[in-house]
């Protein structure tokens, strides 16, 4: 696999500085506190509003829907800065990363005009409804079904592991719209379901940390009007796959535990611990090479190229790296992991340890990704 | 990227593809090397890549050279191409003319210089037993020099590295330096980076072939009634090798571009460190996928894995760069994230 080698331009470097000073300013004002895994565990609708005011939600989207038509690389830079400073972006994350691009590609004019400007303003958040109870990694084993009625569909079933559904207004939901045939990938469609609507029950599932994080979403005779069908009926699986490339290759698969690494290096510098810094340097080298890879995929995505296999690569290696950081760090300093600690290293370490098992599971388990990669390599 | 790159890469790849057989590489074990391939490279003027046209060279830059070094690794080419061209490239950096005669280099340990006389011992000098000239570093007081010595007059103790490539210990006792030019600490740093980028490029090539051999083998080899790539545990090896190979290809491209643009800061060091992990993973998995046949001399795999194991411990190692990077971190005021994202504009060509 060959990926382009991206060098940032002067304008892009300047943009990075702009984002960074915005974040530093808000850390100083106490708007938010840096934390690890902020993109999934740091949901703060009022912070999302501030981000929207900067024009930084849906920034690559067409101007007619409120976007600013900036490049994928600009968005990459923005995302990296959010993660490095551990900003609470989870509320608008899925709408910005997945729903927007999905609607731009497959949505009707009505859907684009209705949803995109609201997303851009930070007023409309989305959850993703792919997994189902007991389906595990087998995403195509969809049992949630829809029956056609006058003007729409009646949906029954359940979705699970929907991150942030408790904060979101809508959910893009994969649903069986034709009876299960021989091929379980066929006959699936994507619906937008109003999470505040009748028949929808959201039950939070608490994460290892005890916090609500993902959810069970029960759908009991939920009416979905025809205009909320995304793309082509029966084409849901293919549309969903296109979404996964966006989900797998971004900096969020590398930087979830970066605040910990950054803080520890600061501490080692203060202690003038050269041996500790040498160990930490190996992680920095790894981060550098992963970033190159991930930025390369972003560039190919921007040019509309095929990235399913390299995106799976970023996800599988990147998340292992995120997971490794706390395990190496704890051997470099005398530090006691504690979620309530005033000491940043202790707090970040605790967050990293408790969030780490999820990194190699959410968005495709490493084992499933290995299969995709090996098949991709054999096919070449 | 230079315009001639694509063309020279094509020519060299064709030569290696046609001429470098497993048996050609095996000859090194008997103390013979592929003189005919070397002559072919000379006839095609390929030793003049990255030599300026005023100096009778073919033009091109470090980026082109590094692309060719990747091919040396990819084909396990048993010729002193890297040694000769890099030695002359280093001379060119201090405005000295290169040599037509076979030349090698060794810049890890500076010799002592007293007037024009050289003293000291260099270890593991590549191809010294065949080379006529040596480009190396020497020190007099606190001043460093790049010097050229005549290998014919030095004492050599010949040996090989793990891959049976010629390596010699070279002892200098009052040997006259043919040329000497003072270099600054900064220039010496840049030389170190060129040399390191060369070994990272070679390793990248060898790693690619070790991976490709494994993919091919996993398709051809059947066990329990199906090709072994159908087994999940074999797939896991293939996936992790694919990851390391892609990661390092992007990394090697990146440092080439940065070096050619004179914008390298810490990236060569990062790539070198990362290459240690990548080569370990790929060598281990490649042997595991090939199983018993892969550990025999009969199979080609060892020509690549032995090179990976040998090269990772030569010249400026991951350990060396790890210390350098740690020291730099200690001295810098800016934090880690700023240092990673800042693509400094300082020029490495001092």
* Closest chain A C-alpha to B311 CA, distance in angstroms: 19
The residue-averaged pLDDT of B280-299 equals 96
* Contact residues on chain A for B254, CB-CB shorter than 8 A: 5, 292
Angle at B173 between CA B167 and CA B177, to 5 degrees: 85
- Asked if the Cβ–Cβ distance from A285 to B270 is below 8 Å, we say yes
For residue A235, the 8-state DSSP code is: B
Q: Per residue in A287-305, is it b (16+ CB within 10 Å) or e — as a string?
A: bbbbbbbbbbbbbbbbeee
Report the alpha-carbon distance of residue B181 to residue B159 in Å, rounded: 30
Are A297 and A280 in contact by the 8 Å Cβ rule? The answer is no
Report the alpha-carbon distance of residue A290 to residue A310 in Å, rounded: 12
pLDDT band for position A131 (cuts 50, 70, 90): very high
The residue-averaged pLDDT of B84-94 equals 96
Question: Residues 284..323 of B with a Cβ closer than 8 Å to A: which?
Answer: 322-323
* Contact residues on chain B for A269, CB-CB shorter than 8 A: 329-330
Least confident of A269-283, B41-55, B123-137, B152-166: B41-55
Longest dimension (CA), chain B: 73
* Closest chain A C-alpha to B166 CA, distance in angstroms: 31
* Closest chain A C-alpha to B238 CA, distance in angstroms: 6
For chain A, say whether B329 makes contact (Cβ under 8 Å): yes
* Contact residues on chain B for A260, CB-CB shorter than 8 A: none
For chain A, say whether B247 makes contact (Cβ under 8 Å): yes
* Contact residues on chain B for A86, CB-CB shorter than 8 A: none
CA dihedral A114, A117, A123, A124 (to 10 degrees): 50
| Nearest one of A320, A330, A322 to A267, comparing CA atoms | A330
pLDDT band for position B348 (cuts 50, 70, 90): very low
Q: What is the pTM of this model?
A: 0.94
Are B162 and B322 in contact by the 8 Å Cβ rule? The answer is no
> Is A338 strand, coil or helix?
coil
pLDDT given at position A20: 96
> Is B102 strand, coil or helix?
coil
pLDDT given at position B3: 67
* Closest chain B C-alpha to A59 CA, distance in angstroms: 21
Are B234 and B289 in contact by the 8 Å Cβ rule? The answer is yes
Residue A138: pLDDT over 70: yes
pLDDT tens figures, A320-354: 999 999 999 999 999 999 999 999 999 999 999 99
For chain B, say whether A8 makes contact (Cβ under 8 Å): yes
Cβ neighbours for A120, distance < 8 A, ≥ 6 positions apart: A52, A57, A58, A61, A65, A66, A67
pLDDT tens figures, B187-234: 999 999 999 999 999 999 999 999 999 999 999 999 999 999 999 999
pLDDT tens figures, A80-97: 999 999 999 999 999 999
Cβ neighbours for B323, distance < 8 A, ≥ 6 positions apart: A274, A278
Percentage above 70 pLDDT, chain A: 100
What ipTM, to 2 d.p.?
0.92
* Contact residues on chain A for B210, CB-CB shorter than 8 A: none
Report the alpha-carbon distance of residue A125 to residue A49 in Å, rounded: 11
Percentage above 70 pLDDT, chain B: 97
Mutation pick from A260, A284, A344 vs chain B, by most beta carbons of B within 10 Å, is A284
Beta strands in B115-161 (DSSP E): 117-126, 133-140, 143-150, 155-160
Of A2, A289, A370, the CB nearest to B274: A289
Residue of A nearest to B336 (CA): A262
The separation between the first and the last C-alpha atoms of chain A, rounded to the nearest angstrom, is 9
Percentage above 90 pLDDT, chain A: 85
Q: Which two tokens stand for residue B125?
A: 């000098």
pLDDT band for position B2 (cuts 50, 70, 90): low
A·B CB contacts under 8 A: 135
For chain A, say whether B215 makes contact (Cβ under 8 Å): yes
């Amino acid at each position: 696999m060959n990926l382009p080698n991206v060098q940032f331009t002067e304008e892009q470097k300047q943009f990075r500085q702009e984002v960074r000073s915005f974040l530093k300013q808000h850390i100083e004002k106490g708007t938010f506190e840096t934390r690890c895994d902020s993109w999934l565990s740091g949901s703060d609708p009022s912070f999302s509003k501030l981000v929207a005011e900067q024009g930084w939600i849906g920034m690559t989207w067409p101007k007619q829907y409120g976007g600013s038509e900036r490049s994928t690389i600009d968005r990459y830079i923005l995302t990296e800065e959010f993660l490095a400073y551990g900003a609470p972006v989870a509320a608008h994350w899925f709408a910005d990363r997945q729903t927007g691009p999905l609607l731009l590609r497959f949505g009707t004019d009505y859907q684009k005009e209705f949803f995109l400007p609201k997303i851009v303003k930070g007023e409309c958040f989305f959850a993703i409804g792919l997994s189902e109870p007991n389906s595990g990694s087998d995403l195509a084993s969809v049992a949630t079904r829809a029956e056609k009625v006058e003007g729409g569909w009646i949906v029954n079933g359940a979705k699970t592991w929907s991150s942030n559904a408790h904060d979101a207004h809508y959910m893009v939901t994969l649903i069986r719209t034709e009876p299960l045939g021989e091929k379980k990938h066929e006959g699936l469609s994507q619906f937008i379901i109003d999470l505040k609507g009748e028949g929808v029950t959201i039950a939070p599932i608490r994460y290892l940390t005890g916090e609500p994080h993902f959810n069970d979403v029960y759908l009991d005779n939920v009416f979905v009007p025809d205009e909320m069908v995304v793309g082509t009926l029966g084409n849901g699986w293919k549309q969903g796959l296109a979404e996964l490339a966006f989900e797998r290759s971004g900096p969020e698969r590398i930087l979830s535990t970066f605040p910990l690494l950054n803080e520890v290096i600061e501490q080692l510098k203060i202690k003038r611990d050269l041996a500790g810094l040498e160990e930490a340097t190996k992680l920095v080298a790894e981060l550098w090479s992963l970033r190159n890879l991930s930025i390369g995929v972003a560039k190919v995505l921007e040019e509309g190229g095929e990235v399913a296999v390299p995106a799976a690569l970023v996800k599988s290696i990147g998340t292992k790296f995120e997971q490794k950081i706390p395990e190496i760090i704890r051997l470099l300093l005398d530090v006691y992991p504690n979620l309530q600690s005033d000491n940043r290293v202790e707090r970040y370490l605790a967050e990293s340890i408790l969030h780490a098992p999820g990194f190699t599971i959410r968005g495709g388990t490493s084992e499933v990704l290995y299969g995709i990669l090996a098949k991709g390599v054999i096919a070449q | 990227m230079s315009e001639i790159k694509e063309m020279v890469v094509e020519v060299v790849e064709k030569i290696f593809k046609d001429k470098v057989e497993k048996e050609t590489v095996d000859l090194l074990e008997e103390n013979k090397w592929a003189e005919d391939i070397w002559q072919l490279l000379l006839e095609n003027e390929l030793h003049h890549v990255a030599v300026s046209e005023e100096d009778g060279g073919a033009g091109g830059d470090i980026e082109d050279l590094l692309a060719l070094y990747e091919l040396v690794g990819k084909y396990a080419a048993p010729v002193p191409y890297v040694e000769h061209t890099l030695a002359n490239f280093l001379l060119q950096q201090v405005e000295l003319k290169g040599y037509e005669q076979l030349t090698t280099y060794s810049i890890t340990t500076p010799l002592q210089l007293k007037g024009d006389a050289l003293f000291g011992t260099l270890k593991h000098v590549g191809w010294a037993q065949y080379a006529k000239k040596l480009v190396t570093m020497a020190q007099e007081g606190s001043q460093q020099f790049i010097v050229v010595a005549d290998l014919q007059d030095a004492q050599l103790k010949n040996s090989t590295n793990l891959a049976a490539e010629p390596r010699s210990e070279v002892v200098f006792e009052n040997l006259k330096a043919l040329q000497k030019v003072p270099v600054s600490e900064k220039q010496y740093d840049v030389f170190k980076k060129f040399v390191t980028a060369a070994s990272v490029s070679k390793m990248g090539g060898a790693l690619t072939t070790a991976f490709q051999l494994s993919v091919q083998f996993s398709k051809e080899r059947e066990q329990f009634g199906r090709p072994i790539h159908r087994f999940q545990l074999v797939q896991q090896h293939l996936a992790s090798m694919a990851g390391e190979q892609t990661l390092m290809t992007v990394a090697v491209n990146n440092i080439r571009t940065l070096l050619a643009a004179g914008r390298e800061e810490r990236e060569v060091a990062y790539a070198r460190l990362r290459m240690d992990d990548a080569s370990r993973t790929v060598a281990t998995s490649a042997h595991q996928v090939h199983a018993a046949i892969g550990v025999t001399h009969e199979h080609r795999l060892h020509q690549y894995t032995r090179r990976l194991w040998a090269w990772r411990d030569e010249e400026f190692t991951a350990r060396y760069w790890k210390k350098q990077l740690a020291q730099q971190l200690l001295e810098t005021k800016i934090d880690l994230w700023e240092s990673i994202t800042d693509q400094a504009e300082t020029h490495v060509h001092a």
